[in-house]
Chain A
Amino acid sequence: MLERLYHFLEVRLGIRDILEQNLTKYLLPNNVNIWYTLGAVLITLFVTQFITGILLLVYYVPNPAEAFQSVERIMNEVPYGWLIRYLHAVGSNVIVIALLLHMLSVLFMGSYKKPRELTWVSGFILLNLSFALCLTGYLLPWSQLSFWATTVATDAAGAVPVIGDALVRFLRGGAMVGDATLGRFFALHVMVLPAMLAGLVGFHLFCVRRIGISRPPFGEDYRPAEVKGYFHHEEHPGGIPFFPNYAIKDMAVIFFFLAGLVYLVFFAPGLFIPPSAFEPADPFTTPEHIKPEWYFLWAYQTLKIFPSEFLGLAVQGLVMTGLALLPFIDRGSERRPGRRPLFIACYILGILLFVGISVWGHYS
């Protein structure tokens, strides 16, 4: 039966050829390393988010009067609701970790360089879409944490000159975080952003596959690939087949990340979900230590370091724009870290700064 179905499709679509071209005959550079598995890890984690998100949607009620209760029901009454919710909430943090690692590895190996600028730019937009998903999702449970974190985050937009106040009102749909904010964040979180993300992941993968995966810039016989003035798919003759040779490594790291996710869900969900997440939102009581999530701490703290919030915002904008356009700024063809001392110095400094400012933000 299955064989006949296969035959039917084979005759009409030539699936054997597609599979061969993308699996067994798809050759990766023979020195491909473990960092190249992170893309596959991210795909798996995002699929998990989609599934758990849809399940949460079954019981979640997007209105301030009922949102908190509906989440409390999911956590306490719906069978395995707690598991689904924790997988989704903790999963978002694991995704950010994987995203940062993926980006850092791509930076270290210089694989954002010509001809992979579009891969980089689409990836960078994906990073920001993910942040937007985190921010909008945070409000949905309508807890003290949700309410005040969103109040603080949207408040930052007020530092933009001239249109600042209008911008804050636009983001919130009113003067304060309220019904309208929940409505728009909900629409963004479950429809607009996921749709954009899915489309852009498709484009990102298309870019990766179309131009060919980059050869890691390590080993004695590595030479920077010659970049031509016309389209050229980078082949890796004598490389290792994607399937099964590399796919099994993808699987190994995917299982490793899932193990980490499950461990956090069962043993340390409190690491990402503080007690104030279990108190209903109360616009009249500001909690004492309201802090954004760990991956926004750097932004939160930069706003405080500079003499004016506008200056902080401007610096953030500059850094993000610089990163987005990096392949157009850093144009040399050299990718070996040992031969790019200036870049690597900035790279390490950047990581230290990110960690340092975040820790400062955490304790300030």
Chain B
Amino acid sequence: MAMSPERGFIGVPAYEAVPDFCGRCHIGVKEDYLLSAHGQAIAEGGANCVTCHGNHVVVKAGPEIINPEDCSQCHGYGQAGEIKAAIVKTDEMLASLAENLGFMGKKGIAVKSMESETFALRNDFRRLFHSVNVEKISNETADFQQRGMAIQQKIDAVQTELDQRKLIGGVVTGLLVLASLICFLIRKTYQQEEDGSS
């Protein structure tokens, strides 16, 4: 039933039609893919979307996908490591940006605009490595690094302010405790007076 065409089931797309299928939603990625060596070679059996991402058990996009075991089906054993090295550092940086922002959001800092900036940046970067072109990735990585750093700087500025607040808070707390102690001491002198007079 679920697989009846009347209900919208369109069956298994042909190998070469897969990018069109996925690209209905992942539009930008499709563009980059089609221009890449993988996309250009699809007629000769070049990797399509599901070769790396799986079909039903979709593998979440991440650098883990690039590994010698999978890639060496077509490429030399060393090539996966090469391309992975080119992206891993930047990808990790973007991931840690997202993590830091999530952490701050939980403390009531308005991070929404920084979060969408990071999200867009990460998307762009992942589009980039669909080109599977080591040279192109290396050339553009610096730019991504820089844009990531700009966001990181904003995060750092917020963090510095939070630290400063803590410093001030610590001083104020200390002063209040001191005031409390002084009052207790004064109270003590009154107490001695009271005890003396009774």
The 10 A-B residue pairs whose C-beta atoms are closest, nearest first, are A266-B169, A252-B183, A259-B176, A255-B180, A275-B106, A76-B110, A256-B180, A255-B179, A245-B190, A252-B184
List A contacts of B177 (CB < 8 A): 255-256, 259
List A contacts of B179 (CB < 8 A): 251, 255
B107 partner, pick from A72, A245, A255, A270, beta carbons under 8 A: A270
> Of residues B108, B181, B184, B186, which shows the largest number of chain A Cβ atoms within 10 Å of its Cβ?
B108
Is B194 interfacial (CB 8 A cutoff)?
yes
The smallest beta-carbon distance between B181 and chain A, in angstroms, is: 8
Report how many residues on chain B are interfacial, defined by Cβ distance under 8 Å. 25
Known A30-B194, A245-B194; contact A273-B108, beta-carbon cutoff 8 A = yes
Q: Is the CB of B183 within 8 A of A72?
A: no
Is B53 interfacial (CB 8 A cutoff)?
no
B169 partner, pick from A30, A265, A277, beta carbons under 8 A: A265
B190 partner, pick from A72, A244, A277, beta carbons under 8 A: A244
Alpha-carbon separation in the docked complex, A75 to B165 (Å): 13
Known A252-B184, A253-B180; contact A266-B166, beta-carbon cutoff 8 A = yes
Q: Which of B142-198 contact A (CB under 8 A)?
A: 165-166, 168-170, 172-173, 176-177, 179-181, 183-184, 186-187, 190, 194, 198
The 24 sampled A-B contact pairs (Cβ below 8 Å) are A30-B194, A30-B198, A77-B110, A82-B108, A238-B198, A245-B190, A245-B194, A249-B183, A252-B180, A252-B187, A255-B180, A256-B176, A256-B177, A259-B176, A259-B180, A262-B169, A262-B172, A262-B173, A262-B176, A263-B169, A266-B165, A266-B169, A270-B107, A275-B106
Q: Is the CB of B190 within 8 A of A248?
A: yes
List A contacts of B120 (CB < 8 A): none
Known A252-B187, A253-B180; contact A76-B107, beta-carbon cutoff 8 A = no
Alpha-carbon separation in the docked complex, A275 to B106 (Å): 5
Interface 0/1 of A233-254, CB less than 8 Å to B: 0000010100011001101110
Is B41 interfacial (CB 8 A cutoff)?
no
Is A258 interfacial (CB 8 A cutoff)?
yes
Interface residues on A, range: 20 to 34
Q: Is the CB of B176 within 8 A of A72?
A: no
Q: Is the CB of B170 within 8 A of A266?
A: yes
> Of residues B168, B180, B190, which shows the largest number of chain A Cβ atoms within 10 Å of its Cβ?
B180
Count of inter-chain pairs, beta carbons less than 8 A = 74
Q: Is the CB of B187 within 8 A of A249?
A: yes
The smallest beta-carbon distance between A126 and chain B, in angstroms, is: 25
The smallest beta-carbon distance between A150 and chain B, in angstroms, is: 20
Interface 0/1 of A61-86, CB less than 8 Å to B: 00000000000100111000010000
Alpha-carbon separation in the docked complex, A262 to B187 (Å): 24
Interface 0/1 of B93-129, CB less than 8 Å to A: 0000000000001111110000000000000000000
List B contacts of A72 (CB < 8 A): 108, 110
List A contacts of B108 (CB < 8 A): 72, 75-76, 82, 273, 277-278
The smallest beta-carbon distance between B192 and chain A, in angstroms, is: 11
B109 partner, pick from A30, A76, A238, A262, beta carbons under 8 A: A76
B176 partner, pick from A30, A77, A82, A258, beta carbons under 8 A: A258
Alpha-carbon separation in the docked complex, A227 to B165 (Å): 55
Is A363 interfacial (CB 8 A cutoff)?
no
Is A267 interfacial (CB 8 A cutoff)?
yes
Alpha-carbon separation in the docked complex, A255 to B187 (Å): 14
Q: Is the CB of B194 within 8 A of A240?
A: yes
List A contacts of B198 (CB < 8 A): 30, 238
The smallest beta-carbon distance between A172 and chain B, in angstroms, is: 27
- Beyond the given A248-B186, A255-B176, A266-B168, please list 20 additional residue pairs across the A-B interface where CB-CB is below 8 A: A30-B198, A76-B109, A77-B110, A82-B108, A245-B187, A248-B190, A249-B187, A252-B180, A252-B183, A252-B187, A253-B180, A255-B180, A259-B177, A262-B176, A266-B166, A266-B170, A266-B172, A277-B108, A278-B105, A278-B108
Alpha-carbon separation in the docked complex, A267 to B166 (Å): 7
A248 partner, pick from B168, B169, B173, B183, beta carbons under 8 A: B183
Known A259-B176, A278-B108; contact A267-B169, beta-carbon cutoff 8 A = yes
Minimum CB distance partner of A278 in chain B: B108
Alpha-carbon separation in the docked complex, A279 to B20 (Å): 37
Alpha-carbon separation in the docked complex, A72 to B104 (Å): 13
